[in-house]
Structure 1
Amino acid sequence: MRAPRLRRPLAALSAALATGLAVLALRPPPVATVRVLAAARDLPSGTVLSARDLRPLSLPPDAVPAGALRANAVGRTLAGPMRRGEPLTDARLLTSGLLRGYGANTVATPIRIADAGVARLLRPGDRIDVLTTPSPDTPFSRTVVSSAPVVAVPRPRSDQGALIVLATDRPQAAALAAAGSSLSVTISGAPADPPQDDSRW
């Protein structure tokens, strides 16, 4: 008498198992992803990256940009601004090659000047004086750094200012950082060396 009573539940269980197996068989395989680093927030050019500036981002392999970084980005300096969620690539970072031929105590110092048109006149090897621009509080400009060599001139993204990278010592870098973002430059010397092929990125 038990066998007929168990037959119906067993049949229902078998049908459920068969349905589950069929669903698993029809389910597409999980999509492969590549884990890269991305900006955790909007980052201005010249940012020295810290762990809080970055977050992991999983992308399909065909969506991973060339040169995407997966690690070893903390402590590197951004050559241009990044938007939140944008994958970090090697083209976004200043490289040690910029300082090839300079002294061991030289650092690559990005500054932003107010006039993008002036930046288009500059080439790696030019030497420039960096000055503060007059303001209502300080009506006179002052020279922050003199005869600093230009090592890179990234292409301006608009006419509202432009990034320039200089080779400076650490006290000069600190003085430029303290001077703020309202800066102008004058060209004080011709290129000492031929421009690098990749200098304008």
Structure 2
Amino acid sequence: MPVPLLPPAPPVAPSTAPPAGPRDRRRRRLTRRWLSAGLVAAAGGVSVATLAPADPPTASVLVAARDLPTGAVLTTTDVREAARPADTLPDGVLDTVTGTVLAGPVRRGEVLTDARTTSGPLLAGQPPGTVATSVEVGDPALLDSLAPGVRVDVLARLEDPVTGAPTGAERIAVDVVVVRVPTSTTGSPGLLGSPGPSSASSVLVAVDSPTAARLAAAAGRTVLTVRSS
């Protein structure tokens, strides 16, 4: 039986597109490279997002709203709330500040703690071996200029051993810090209800042991001078 003949294939139309030149091939290579780089970057971003640790827990604390000086009596306008990493917070963070007196200067944004106030530990932040000792001010009028954190020099009046006449003064403590001042410096009311003389005559200063011994030996003869900040 004869095999039927297949019809001839239709002729293929010649391509009308021009052959790719060097510039077209270069453009295609660059396109493939950019696509590959984009896929790699996307995959890397997903990996980083997956492997990155979660943000640490935070806590809301009170910080200084602006630079505050020594002796400032705090109000709610002096502080603001801020979020801080909970594991970096110091001990003694304050949760209320109204009426609190600063024992030293505070910078804007600093977390407020009990060590920064007059109600905190007496010698907080002082070097090891520091002691607190009482020293007479000499001039009660100077008490209004004193506050915890103020730095002072202490002079001792010199007297003639025979006549008791003053002969000068020597500096027995230099650049020491006041750590506590009297909470009230007014004595009993005077005549007609006027304020009486000051009942306070001394403050506590932080010094080393040898300086404390010199201050004790000069009791009754000391005068404080305030140093410029």
TM-score with structure 1 length normalisation?
0.44
Larger radius of gyration: 2
Instruction: State the TM-score, normalized to the length of structure 2.
Output: 0.39
Q: Taking CA–CA contacts closer than 8 Å with sequence separation of 6 or more, which of the two structures ends up with the larger relative contact order?
A: 1
